[in-house]
Amino acid sequence: MPDDRVLLTVLLRHDQSKTLDEIMAHVKTTGFYRDFPPEGVEVVSWTVAMSYGFVILVRARPDALRAMNRCIEQKAWGAFRYEVFPAYDFAPIAAQLKRDHA
């Protein structure tokens, strides 16, 4: 069966009007770290970008996209501003291009 999951790049930018302690208190209250990612979504990588926040790559079933959006809206808003971009794995293509252009 083909893998129909999609990759999403999630950018969570810290709300810089808040201190880190305020952000951590907010996400503890909302249960962000407890509940993220929602069912059907797998974290591929989670990176801290200094002076920005988090860059998270997730793999999700298409039917889990609504749960993903709702999780961020309910758990992360107030601590982060966010953007989500569909993504795909370019590494195999880049490797082929490297071979083709050698």
| For the chain, domain boundaries | 6-100
Q: What is the model's pTM?
A: 0.86
Using DSSP, state whether 4 is helix, strand or coil.
coil
pLDDT digits 0-9 by tens, 19-36? 999 999 999 999 999 999
CATH number for 6-100 (one of 3.40.50.300, 3.20.20.30, 3.30.70.920, 3.40.50.1100): it is: 3.30.70.920
pLDDT digits 0-9 by tens, 73-84? 999 999 999 999
Contact 56, 10 (CB under 8 A): yes
- Upstream peptide bond of 37 is cis (omega within 30 degrees of 0): yes
pLDDT for 44: 96
> Does residue 1 surpass a pLDDT of 50?
no
Please give the mean pLDDT across all residues of the chain: 94
- What is the mean predicted confidence (pLDDT) over 3-30? 95
